[in-house]
């Protein structure tokens, strides 16, 4: 072809024949298909716009490598080239050749030409790109009525729409022959209509069925489309549908391949009539990777897709906040390309690259915000400087009857180093059940007290606060230091006494629950706040305890190991230490999953253990939505065990509806072995420490998360005797069985928490009430750990160079937009 008007027919016909014969790089009379395309595209035709010359050359180079491409890449290249050439032909003003196409099909082409330009050919669109902050109602393709509908999705401007990412994609870009269909795949086929019928369902007269027999040169397939509603059952409508898909017409159909009694079929497929087997498929769904958006009632999928198409040219004008050096270092594409390809990617590979960039952005700006806040906190120089050595600490090390583990000593060193600095400590200590976190906290508390300051320890429940108080009293008595307990059950006279002693400074340590953050509680000089099981407190509750002093050091603890990705996400502004070593002599707890038929085995074990002087926990699930039901079952279980199963033993009862005095009595009786079996709800999850208990029987274990099961299991195995955890479950669900097997196989809380997050998601791992867990649009803490780590590293580098972000104005503005305007900072803990 010389430099003259392009021979559209020869090019399109070559592409069509190649597609029809399975992308085999056909041999022509003189050249192979790839050679013909490469040579033809190797010269610029007269009239080709300068802006298109680079694209033309790129296609020539791609077809030169065609013989080395895989089948899927060949399909995408041919399909993309066909669409590109078709659009160029339209823009040149020349009508497409009829070439025997029926008048009805010709009108179909012309009507499609009037539709908004599809994103794949947006680069050649002559339409002016809208402004990024333009209202959607101002776009002629959308208008006021559609804009009002889109507003129900929280989408108001062009920018909102560009960042309204699809929740999923379906890949219809893969075009196959009928004989290549396999159940479970999503594909596109191009075939001829052999038979067309439209009729009412014999079982439902309000359901209309379009039935097509489609055939290509490899086989045939029967497909059906269903339309529910009275208007679709009229003969006039059904006849018009049959005229739309006449016998002999060529159709592109896409959908999920499913097995039926007639063989393989496409499940309720999308259909488009073509002129010839090689014609361009101009649908928003057929033959491409289709975006699936979150919708609401009254908003159709195609309305959102068409709106995105109208807004998408604006993406080309987006200024990328990430510097090119940072993008190159982490292998990220430009923002404008990522936005375009997350909505309408040409293929799956482009989608993955786009998603990776946008996931990186979600993580990066979160980490940037967390690290920026951490940096700002460390600029404060008004906190107490606490002495890491002194008589109190030396005496404490002498009175404890055990040697600290290496992990405990390492974490203590981290804490004492922090306490010597004028910047407030903000450290999280993670430790598995029984790893010795309390001892570590006491060292920090004593460092504050010997430096002349007060300390507070806040726990989420009275049971846990009481447990801490008992342990601390036993140590503090030997150190001749007073310590008090303040909870909702504390008597008024005692409460006033505690308040007075705090204000005078006579009371160096106060242990308690939420009662610590009430207004009458005023410390004379609070130097350290310790928060246990911190994820059970809200952001404001933790902040109110800190406000009881002048920038006190803060030590938070959790016995619920948090997966690395989740810790980075919700505690990214904190320093984190892990006690990853258990004290010597702790035996592995033998964990077994049992069915209802094996209950007698559990009871036999319980009898044997009680005969040896041991004690038993029996735990029932508590679900908030049906608390009364589960409470009744706990009472019923207690009655059954006491009267029918173990009448010779004393069976106690503990649940959240009991008063504090009743709880204390139940726990005291169990601690003193006056009751051998304690039937309880999850109140015993943390805080109840009875070394003599050796069996934990958990009913309906499948209803608990893995982390919670691990916490419950940690109530036994606290003494020298062999302990057992029995997971009673009647569920036959494969998922439930798989989860419980994790408990059988592992005692590692960090591994269990990782698995728990994979099974249930991050929000459920920490509890549904937990604030501060981000709701990412694209990113997954389970699947995208590698990208999160890279984003954290990138954010650390940026903060290290310029924490104010003044040298990266666009980055600073993007951070402000994301976490002040969009989320109001709500995702930050």
Query: Which pLDDT tens digit goes with each residue over 619-629?
Result: 987 644 455 55
Does the pLDDT at position 823 exceed 80? no
Contact 281, 252 (CB under 8 A): yes
Share of the chain above pLDDT 90, in %: 28
Average pLDDT score over residue span 145-173: 87
Closest CA to 754 of 801, 686, 707: 707
Distance from the Cα of residue 172 to its chain's centroid? 26
Measure the CA–CA gap between 282 and 375, rounded to whole angstroms: 53
618 vs 58, which has greater pLDDT? 618
Q: What is the pLDDT of residues 687-707, one digit of tens each?
A: 577 889 999 999 989 888 888
Report how far apart, in Å, the C-alpha atoms of 146 and of each of 42, 300, 387, 402, 440 are: 44, 11, 66, 71, 60
pLDDT of residue 798: 94
Does the pLDDT at position 236 exceed 70? yes
Contact 223, 214 (CB under 8 A): yes
Distance from the Cα of residue 603 to its chain's centroid? 41
The runs of H, that is alpha helices, within 553-705 are: 564-570, 599-611, 627-640, 660-671
Distance from the Cα of residue 662 to its chain's centroid? 41
Measure the CA–CA gap between 473 and 465, rounded to whole angstroms: 12
Contact 783, 355 (CB under 8 A): no
Contact 456, 603 (CB under 8 A): no
Structure confidence at residue 111 as a pLDDT band (50, 70, 90): very low
Q: Which two tokens stand for residue 485?
A: 């307990």
Closest CA to 209 of 236, 231, 228, 189: 228
- Range of lowest pLDDT (28-37, 401-410, 549-558): 28-37
Contact 798, 375 (CB under 8 A): no
Residues with Cβ within 8 Å of 284's Cβ and at least 6 positions away in sequence, in order, are 118, 290, 302, 305, 306, 309
Question: 175: helix, coil or strand?
Answer: strand
Question: 265: helix, coil or strand?
Answer: strand
pLDDT of residue 277: 62
Residues with Cβ within 8 Å of 358's Cβ and at least 6 positions away in sequence, in order, are 165, 338, 339, 342, 778
Measure the CA–CA gap between 448 and 454, rounded to whole angstroms: 6
Contact 432, 750 (CB under 8 A): yes
Average pLDDT score over residue span 4-11: 61
Contact 589, 666 (CB under 8 A): no
Contact 287, 173 (CB under 8 A): yes
- Range of lowest pLDDT (34-43, 97-106, 635-644, 653-662): 97-106
What's the predicted TM-score (pTM) here? 0.66
Scanning the structure block, which residue is given the tokens 């006033």? 496
| Phi and psi, residue 273, nearest 5° | -80, 130
Average pLDDT, the chain: 82
Q: What is the pLDDT of residues 495-525, one digit of tens each?
A: 999 999 999 999 999 999 888 888 788 899 9
Measure the CA–CA gap between 827 and 366, rounded to whole angstroms: 9
Measure the CA–CA gap between 173 and 167, rounded to whole angstroms: 18
Tally Cβ neighbours within 10 Å of residue 420: 12
pLDDT of residue 622: 61
Scanning the structure block, which residue is given the tokens 């709880």? 663
Question: 314: helix, coil or strand?
Answer: helix
- Range of lowest pLDDT (64-68, 218-222, 669-673, 805-809): 64-68
Q: What is the pLDDT of residues 202-219, one digit of tens each?
A: 888 888 899 999 998 899
Measure the CA–CA gap between 365 and 373, rounded to whole angstroms: 12
Measure the CA–CA gap between 225 and 204, rounded to whole angstroms: 15
pLDDT of residue 120: 44
Q: What is the pLDDT of residues 432-460, one digit of tens each?
A: 777 888 899 999 999 999 999 999 999 88
**Strand 263-274 to 250-260 pairing:** antiparallel
DSSP codes, 713-748: HTTS--SSS--EEEEE-----HHHHHHHHHHHH---
Going along the chain from its start, the domains and CATH numbers come out as 8-97 (no CATH), 170-292 (2.40.50.140), 391-420+436-558 (3.40.50.300), 590-746 (3.40.50.300)
Measure the CA–CA gap between 22 and 211, rounded to whole angstroms: 26
Measure the CA–CA gap between 812 and 799, rounded to whole angstroms: 12
Q: DSSP label at 663?
A: H
Q: What is the pLDDT of residues 634-690, one digit of tens each?
A: 788 888 999 999 999 999 998 878 887 888 888 889 989 999 999 988 776 665 778
Share of the chain above pLDDT 70, in %: 86
**Strand 289-292 to 168-171 pairing:** antiparallel
């Amino acid at each position: 072809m010389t430099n003259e008007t392009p021979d559209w027919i020869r090019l399109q016909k070559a592409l069509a024949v190649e597609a029809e014969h399975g992308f085999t790089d056909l041999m022509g009379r003189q050249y192979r298909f790839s050679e013909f395309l490469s040579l033809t595209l190797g010269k610029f035709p007269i009239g080709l716009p300068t802006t298109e010359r680079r694209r033309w050359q790129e296609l020539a180079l791609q077809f030169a490598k065609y013989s080395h491409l895989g089948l899927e890449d060949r399909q995408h290249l041919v399909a993309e080239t066909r669409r590109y050439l078709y659009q160029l032909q339209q823009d040149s003003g020349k009508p497409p050749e009829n070439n025997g196409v029926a008048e009805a099909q010709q009108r179909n082409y012309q009507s499609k030409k009037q539709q908004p330009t599809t994103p794949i050919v947006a680069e050649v669109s002559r339409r002016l790109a809208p402004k990024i902050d333009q209202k959607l109602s101002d776009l002629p393709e959308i208008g006021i009525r559609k804009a009002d509908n889109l507003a129900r999705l929280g989408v108001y401007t062009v920018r909102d729409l560009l960042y309204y990412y699809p929740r999923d994609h379906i890949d219809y870009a893969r075009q196959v022959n009928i004989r290549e269909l396999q159940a479970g795949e999503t594909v596109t086929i191009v075939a001829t209509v052999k038979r067309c019928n439209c009729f009412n369902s014999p079982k439902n007269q309000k359901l209309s069925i379009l039935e097509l027999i489609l055939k290509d040169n490899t086989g045939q397939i029967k497909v059906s489309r269903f339309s529910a509603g009275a208007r679709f059952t009229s003969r006039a409508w059904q006849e018009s549908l049959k005229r739309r898909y006449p016998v002999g017409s060529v159709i592109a159909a896409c959908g999920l391949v499913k097995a039926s009694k007639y063989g393989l079929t496409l499940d309720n497929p999308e259909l488009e009539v073509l002129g010839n087997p090689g014609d361009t498929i101009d649908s928003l769904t057929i033959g491409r990777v289709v975006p699936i958006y979150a919708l609401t009632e009254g908003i159709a999928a195609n309305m959102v897709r068409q709106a995105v198409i109208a807004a998408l040219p604006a993406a080309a004008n987006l200024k990328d906040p990430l510097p090119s050096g940072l993008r190159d270092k982490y292998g990220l594409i430009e923002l404008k390309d990522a936005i375009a390809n997350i909505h309408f990617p040409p293929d799956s590979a482009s989608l993955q690259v786009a998603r990776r960039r946008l996931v990186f952005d979600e993580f990066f700006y979160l980490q940037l915000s967390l690290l920026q806040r951490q940096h700002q906190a460390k600029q404060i120089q008004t906190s107490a400087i606490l002495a890491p050595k002194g008589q109190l600490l030396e005496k404490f090390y002498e009175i404890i009857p055990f040697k600290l583990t290496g992990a405990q000593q390492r974490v203590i060193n981290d804490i004492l180093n922090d306490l010597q600095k004028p910047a407030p400590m903000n450290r999280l200590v993670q430790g598995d059940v029984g790893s010795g976190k309390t001892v570590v906290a006491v060292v920090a508390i004593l460092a504050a007290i010997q430096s002349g300051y007060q300390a507070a320890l806040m726990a989420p429940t009275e049971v846990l606060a009481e447990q801490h108080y008992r342990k601390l009293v036993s140590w503090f008595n030997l150190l001749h230091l007073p310590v008090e307990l303040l909870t909702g059950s504390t008597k008024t006279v005692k409460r006033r006494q505690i308040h007075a002693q705090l204000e005078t400074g006579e009371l160096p340590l106060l242990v308690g629950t939420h009662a610590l953050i009430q207004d009458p509680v005023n410390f004379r000089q609070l130097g350290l706040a310790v928060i246990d099981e911190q994820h059970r407190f809200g952001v404001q509750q933790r902040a109110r305890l800190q406000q009881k002093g002048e920038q006190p050091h803060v030590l938070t603890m959790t016995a619920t190991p948090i997966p690395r990705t989740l810790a980075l996400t919700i505690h990214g502004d904190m320093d984190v230490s892990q006690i990853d070593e258990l004290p010597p002599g702790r035996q592995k707890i033998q964990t077994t999953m049992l069915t209802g038929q094996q209950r007698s085995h559990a009871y036999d074990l319980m009898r044997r253990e009680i005969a040896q002087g041991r004690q038993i926990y029996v735990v029932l699930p508590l679900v908030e939505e049906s608390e009364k039901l589960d409470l009744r079952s706990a009472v019923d279980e207690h009655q059954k065990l006491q009267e029918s199963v173990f009448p010779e033993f004393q069976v106690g009862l503990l649940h959240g509806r009991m008063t504090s005095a009743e709880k204390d009595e139940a726990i005291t009786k169990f601690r003193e072995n006056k009751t051998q079996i304690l039937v309880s709800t999850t109140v015993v999850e943390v805080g109840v420490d009875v070394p003599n208990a050796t069996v934990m029987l958990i009913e309906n274990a499948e209803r608990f998360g893995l982390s919670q099961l691990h916490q419950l299991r940690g109530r036994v195995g606290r003494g020298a005797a062999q302990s057992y955890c029995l997971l009673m479950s009647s569920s036959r669900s494969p998922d439930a069985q798989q989860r419980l097997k994790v408990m059988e196989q592992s005692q590692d809380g960090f591994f269990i928490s990782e698995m728990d997050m994979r099974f249930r998601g991050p929000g459920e791992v920490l509890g549904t009430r937990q604030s501060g867990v981000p709701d990412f649009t694209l990113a997954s803490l389970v699947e995208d750990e590698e990208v999160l780590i890279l984003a954290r590293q990138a954010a650390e580098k940026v903060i290290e160079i310029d924490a104010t972000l003044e040298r990266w104005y666009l980055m600073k503005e993007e951070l402000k937009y994301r976490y002040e305007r969009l989320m109001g900072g709500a995702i930050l803990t």
